[in-house]
Chain A
Amino acid sequence: MPELLEKYSRQVLFPEIGEKGQARLIQSKVVILGCGALGTVQADALCRAGTGSLRIVDRDFLEESNLQRQTLFSEDDVQKGLPKAVAAENRLRQINSSVRVEGLVADVNYKNIEQFVEGADCILDATDNFETRFLINDVAVKYKIPWIYGASVGSYGLSMTVIPFETPCLRCIFESLPPPGISPTCDTAGVLAPIVNVIASIQVAEAIKILTGNSHCINRKLIFFDVWKSSWKQYEIASARSEGECPACQVGRFEFLEGKEGSTVTTLCGRNSVQINQGRENRLDFEQLAKRLRPLGAVHFNQFLLRFNLDNFEIAVFQDGRGIVRGTKDPNVARSLYAKYIGA
């Protein structure tokens, strides 16, 4: 322990952490779901801070356009075509060999999320879509695991900390998923690295408070930050816990974890295509969606169907949000493309 305390001395000197807090951090287990922009910043900081164990789950492979903001990766990783979870694990082991790091290449869904978060002291959200966030919320509330929501796009982002049954949960604040196709994503609206760093750093600070026994110091508001407009605001949300009728933390109905809400994915035999069914009533605004996608690839639409071509893939979406991704049989690739370009 003495040499470990030397390693983390600048953090131990911070009185709210001290030796006791550091000892707790070294014993703790964190799960990071997603390893893109937010996830790499979180993993880097928590690994350097001396978190006992880090499990990182991500479904994607590296692309050159990731390097602008995904801090753990290099050109060499891209050339090798590594999955993000694998490249992250390699880099984190170089950064701090005292931390147990586990990178898992997987699509987080309602069938497997319980096994990924088992034993976690804290879950960090680093996903790129609403559906997985609602799923994280369900599993975290069910097993009373603190988790930290964070999201960013363009130059702005949001974060809130959830301690189940003590603070409002995500569904207390955002009661349902937005329909697909209306929300900007990093792949349609772009994203600046600084906002990712701000939001991920807020999440890491919250995690460190929880893991070092300082839960009484957590942020209990919804934080909005915009690095381009140089503005930030905190919104009161405490009443949502005491006065709301949340299906997850008040009623105990875990619709996303039970697979009753959220999308289903079907590989279409012999067609090199995957169908994504949103499983709820939607009505997409094709004109708005086309406007967002045109800078990125060819878009054609009529009153029934919008087709978007990107490299070797075609995403066709129907008015009700159902999508067919052509050019792959892999559900992970299809889900990822749908989340990035249509937004789910």
Chain B
Amino acid sequence: MPIQVRIPVQLRTLTNGEEVVSASGKSVLEIIEDIERKYPGVKDRICEADGKVRRFVNIFVNAEDIRFLDNLQTPISDDDEVSIIPAIAGG
């Protein structure tokens, strides 16, 4: 079943302005790859060339940071929500 993924403003030019998109997958990586299929270019903005999450981006499953779960291999269940949270600059 697809889950909801919150897209930050920085990436919404790639998701046709959508703030929340649906994606399917059993892990965070599969979710990101599914988003990439629908909205090409998103994965490159989230992950480095070696596949690791960029160091200025945080991904949360529900309220938990995936770095302290199982990173991109963190399993995803039907009711989970994934949020991509980059740092904010303005003040």
Q: Which residues of A approach B to under 8 Å, CB–CB?
A: 34, 36-39, 125-130, 133, 150-154, 156-158, 173-178, 182-186, 189, 191, 221-222, 224, 229, 233-237, 239-240, 243-244, 288, 291, 339, 343-344
Contacts and interface: CB of A to CB of B under 8 A. Distances in A.
Given A38-B91, A243-B68, 11 more contacts: A39-B91, A127-B91, A151-B89, A174-B55, A176-B55, A183-B86, A191-B90, A233-B63, A233-B83, A235-B83, A344-B89
Contacts, number: 103
Contacts of A153: 9, 88-90
B87 interface: yes
Interface in B60-79: 60, 63-65, 67-68
A158 B88 contact: yes
B87 A158 contact: yes
Given A183-B10, A184-B9, A178 B65 contact: no
A182 B56 CA distance: 11
Interface of B: 9-10, 13, 19, 45, 55-56, 58, 60, 63-65, 67-68, 83, 85-91
Nearest to B58: A173
A240 B66 CA distance: 10
A151 B90 contact: yes
A315 to B, nearest CB: 16
A39 B58 CA distance: 26
A125 B91 CA distance: 9
Contact of A291 (B10, B13, B45, B67): B13
Nearest to B13: A288
B71 to A, nearest CB: 12
Rank and list the top 6 A-B pairs by shortest CB-CB distance, nearest first. Answer: A153-B90, A239-B68, A151-B88, A175-B55, A176-B55, A178-B56
Contact of A152 (B13, B19, B88): B88
A37 B88 CA distance: 15
